[in-house]
Amino acid sequence: MDDAAGEEEASMFETSHVLGALLASSPLLARAWDRCAAANAAASGFVHGEDGGTVYVGFSGAPAALSAAGAAVAGGGGLFVPVGLGGDATRRIFAPLVAAEPDAAAVGEQVAVQALALQCFLKLCGSPDFQILLDQIRGKAVVFTGHSLGGAIAALVTLHYLCISSSSSTFGPAPPVLCVTFGSPLVGNEALSRAILRERWGSNFCHVVSQHDVVPRLLFCPLDTVPAHIIVGMQLQQWPARTHHAGAVTAVTARVADTDRHALRQLIQTHVGAVAMEQKLADPAALSGGPYRPFGTYVMCSPDGAVCVDNPTAAVQMLYATFASRCSPGLESPEVAHSCYGDLVLKMPQHLLVKRRLRAADAPATSNYDAGVSLALEASGIHAMATEASTARHWLKTSKRAGRRPSLNCAQLATKLGRITPCRAQIEWYKALFDGELGYYDAFKQRRSPKKFNKANMYRIKLGQFWDGVLAMLDAGQLPHDFHRRAKWVNAARFYQLLVEPLDIADYHRHNLHRTRGRYLTHGRERRYELFDRWWQEKGCAGVRRGDVASSMSSSAASASRRRRSKYAGLTQDPCFWARVEDAREQTESARSERDAAELAMKLEELQEFEHYSGELVASREVSVDVLAPQSSYTLWVEEWNQLKHRDEVRTILL
């Protein structure tokens, strides 16, 4: 295994320093920083302007810091406590992120962000000027940016912009938006990081962090140990208008000046180090420190260059390694380290040119990969002889291997998919056995032919485990970023869903879970099926807008009416058809005993809607022949519904 790893390293290039150099030499960071400086001087809290065909929107954290100054002096209170996004005020704003975490209860954590940044963002959302700006920039290339607390606000604005952009169209590429933060404190928890990975939005965030800046690292500490006045005070020190609010600013900045810098450094180093060392744990809840974790790409800057790290685990590790290294001359002060971004952005391109000339005569390294790692360490400010250099080198190598794994993992998954295909074939054979009598849905629900049932159930479970494993890899970033758009996997997932979800529905109703938990469609559906629906819809093969469950029946019927088959489908094209049949049967039974005319009319209206929907599917042959089997639940419902329609009180309402 070690020899194979060595051969792999010898054939690889370490590119994090190359990406860092490319970014540092581009005008992006300088333009973004100029907008940050302009925002700090603006009264509105944000400014915008177009440069090179891109709209730059800068946000200031000064209003947030000023509003929190009193609480910061008093000890911080709840300034940085995590606030869940599932509330009424935020669920609509961040709908895809909240909806992307249906198993939050299972992992014991909901998507949450820090209270101060969220409070300022919500206030910003209520501004007419901000809403006008969102309308003006829609469809354009845009960069949201901010320094310190302004960066946290910019990150939330970017998330909101991505959410509304993804909800406004059924499918298509992500909007051309980038968030560039400078010295921003951490924004969200592990659940937010996972949700961003699932939405494939990690590449939309670029967090620039100087080597010894305490603000981006402070919220790794437990919240009861965080000196909130450090974050608030350092933001206010960058505010040109601070003299107009001398009382509040002076009190906070005085506490910053009185802070024991050595103790502060030790606090951060201890807790960031603990989190970095524990990243190998599988359970995120087991990690020590505060509730916040990074997301997106981190750009570690030093006077010697920049390094890009796009893996959250590696980001934590490099945040620790760079902070633990010896301070560069002139950057020992926390205030200087937090305010040096303007100088770094201007000087890094010049330093890159000087370094390139100085290293031209250096002896060649043992491999391109080792040379790249050495350059990356140097660019991040870690001296080759420093005590943390060996650990940082190992972390960079590990993150590089992890970065190269997605394509290989995808190839290995294709092999596993081929091995699991016989399980799918067995369920197809099971389906064919009952097509002519009562259909495989009802046969499975009633446990007909126990031996065949047990085998089909075993294959159903195996297939579910395989696809859950695929999604776990996708959540962890171990598969290519466009995995969910590759036709092979979208089609394979869709075929699995159409074949197996009816059995899951049958199992749900066989155990009477619809009575104890609620309807399958709202309380029993596995997360994988909801994701597969989204994959299929993003491919453009369905007329339902993502997340619009309420209109799915009418959309499916309309789609079916446009496509008339010459014979019945091999599999019913609505994976939830049997759940709707079960709901219709219960509604029919309820209508029989209903005495209230208004309630009866409402139930009959819903039953008519399902009659129209199912009739369209049958007429267009979008159902499999098992749906029309003599003893199927659907055939029984049609009989029950026809009997109900002949009752006098029902005929009166329907007429």
Q: Render pLDDT for 3-32 as a digit per residue (tens, 0 to 9).
A: 444 444 443 445 666 677 777 778 899 999
Burial of 281 by CB count in 10 Å (0-12 exposed, 13-18 middle, 19+ buried)?
Answer: exposed
Which has the higher per-residue pLDDT, 4 or 491? 491
H/E segment holding residue 637: helix 633-645
pTM tops 0.85, yes or no: no
Residues 360, 371: Cα–Cα separation, whole Å: 13
pLDDT over 60 at 561, yes or no: no
pLDDT at 351: 63
At 544, the pLDDT band (50, 70, 90 cuts) reads: very low
Residue ranges of the alpha helices (H) in 168-260?
190-199, 215-218, 228-237, 246-258
77-105 core/surface letters (b: 16 or more CB in 10 A; e: else): eebbebbbbeeeebeebbbbbbbbbeebe
Least reliable range by pLDDT among 323-332, 356-365, 371-380, 584-593: 356-365
**First vs last Cα of the chain: how many Å apart?**
76
Residues 402-436: pLDDT tens digits?
A: 555 788 889 999 999 999 999 999 999 999 999 88
Main-chain phi, psi angles of 339, to 5 degrees:
-110, 10
pLDDT at 296: 92
pLDDT at 509: 96
What totals of helices (H) and strands (E) does the chain contain, helices first? 30, 11
In the chain, where are the structural domains located?
A: 31-240+248-277+289-400, 406-542+565-654
> Any residues with CB less than 8 A from the CB of 172 and at least 6 apart, and which?
none
H/E segment holding residue 57: strand 54-59
Mean pLDDT of the chain, nearest integer: 82
pLDDT over 80 at 534, yes or no: yes
Residues 251-287: pLDDT tens digits?
A: 787 888 888 888 998 999 899 888 887 765 444 445 5
pLDDT at 458: 97
Residues 143-164: pLDDT tens digits?
A: 999 999 999 999 999 999 998 8
Token pair for 58: 């800068």
pLDDT over 90 at 517, yes or no: yes
Residues 72, 62: Cα–Cα separation, whole Å: 14
Per DSSP, the three-state class of 82 is strand
CA distances from 503 to 54, 233, 428, 459, 499 (A): 51, 59, 12, 11, 8
Residues 145, 382: Cα–Cα separation, whole Å: 27
pLDDT at 9: 44
H/E segment holding residue 307: strand 305-309
Residues 141, 28: Cα–Cα separation, whole Å: 13
Q: What is the mean pLDDT of residues 491-518?
A: 95
State the Cα torsion 160-292-192-377 to the nearest 10°.
90
At 139, the pLDDT band (50, 70, 90 cuts) reads: confident
State the Cα torsion 39-42-44-48 to the nearest 10°.
-50
Residues 297-352: pLDDT tens digits?
A: 999 888 778 888 888 888 888 898 888 876 655 556 888 889 889 988 888 776 65
Residues 591-638: pLDDT tens digits?
A: 998 888 889 899 999 999 999 999 999 999 999 999 999 999 999 999
- What's the Rg (C-alpha) of the chain? 29
For the chain, what percent of residues have pLDDT higher than 70?
79
Which of 501, 310, 462, 300 is closest to 382 using CA atoms?
A: 300
pLDDT over 60 at 518, yes or no: yes
Q: What is the mean pLDDT of residues 503-525?
A: 94
Amino acid at 419: R
Residues 88, 86: Cα–Cα separation, whole Å: 7
Q: What is the mean pLDDT of residues 635-652?
A: 90
Residues 183, 76: Cα–Cα separation, whole Å: 20
Residues 183-242: pLDDT tens digits?
A: 999 999 988 988 888 787 888 999 999 988 999 999 999 988 888 888 888 888 877 665
The CB density around residue 50, as the number of other CB atoms within 10 Å, is 12
Q: Beta partners for 47?
A: 58
